[in-house]
């Protein structure tokens, strides 16, 4: 839990107008890589939400989308083990000129 929460915090910190979807993904991946768990990160980092539940921008290693104020995106890193399962922590986030605002109100355990 703590590792996934740390990855999500890194992804949130990388979410701001003018930033990139690729940087959001990289911030999460870097946390997992430093912990030797990158091989368990087999799901995307997040995506845009609008008229469709899954739309641009997609946070991944190949995205070239620049985040703009007013975009609503998910930040949802997770770890998965074959034969076991996995979990992720997901928030819905509004991209703002000052950074981001988390729209999800579900409580999380503090690190």
CATH of the domain at 52: 3.90.230.10
Is 110 contained in some domain?
A: no
Q: Read off the pLDDT of residues 58-90 as tens digits, 9 standing for 90 and up.
A: 889 989 899 999 999 999 999 999 899 999 999
Q: Read off the pLDDT of residues 22-59 as tens digits, 9 standing for 90 and up.
A: 999 999 999 999 999 999 999 889 999 988 778 878 88
Pairwise CA distance, residues 89 & 32, whole Å:
14
Distances (CA, A) of 101 to 15, 81, 87, 95, 97: 9, 31, 23, 7, 10
Is 109 contained in some domain?
A: no
| Overall domain count for the chain | 1
Element (H, E) at 48: strand 46-48
Residue 110: pLDDT band (50, 70, 90) is low
Pairwise CA distance, residues 28 & 5, whole Å:
10
Q: The domain containing residue 25 runs over which residues?
A: 2-102
Axis crossing angle, helix 21-34 with helix 2-13, rounded to the nearest 10: 150
Pairwise CA distance, residues 74 & 53, whole Å:
10
């Amino acid at each position: 839990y703590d590792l996934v929460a740390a990855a999500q915090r890194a992804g949130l910190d990388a979410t701001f107008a003018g930033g990139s979807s690729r940087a959001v993904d990289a911030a999460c991946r870097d946390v997992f890589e430093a912990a030797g768990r990158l091989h368990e990160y087999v799901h995307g980092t997040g995506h845009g939400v609008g008229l469709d539940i899954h739309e641009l921008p997609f946070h991944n290693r190949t995205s070239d989308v620049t985040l703009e104020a007013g975009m609503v995106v998910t930040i949802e890193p997770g770890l998965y083990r074959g034969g076991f399962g996995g979990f992720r922590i997901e928030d819905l986030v509004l991209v703002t000129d000052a950074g981001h605002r988390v729209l999800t109100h579900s409580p999380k355990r503090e690190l």
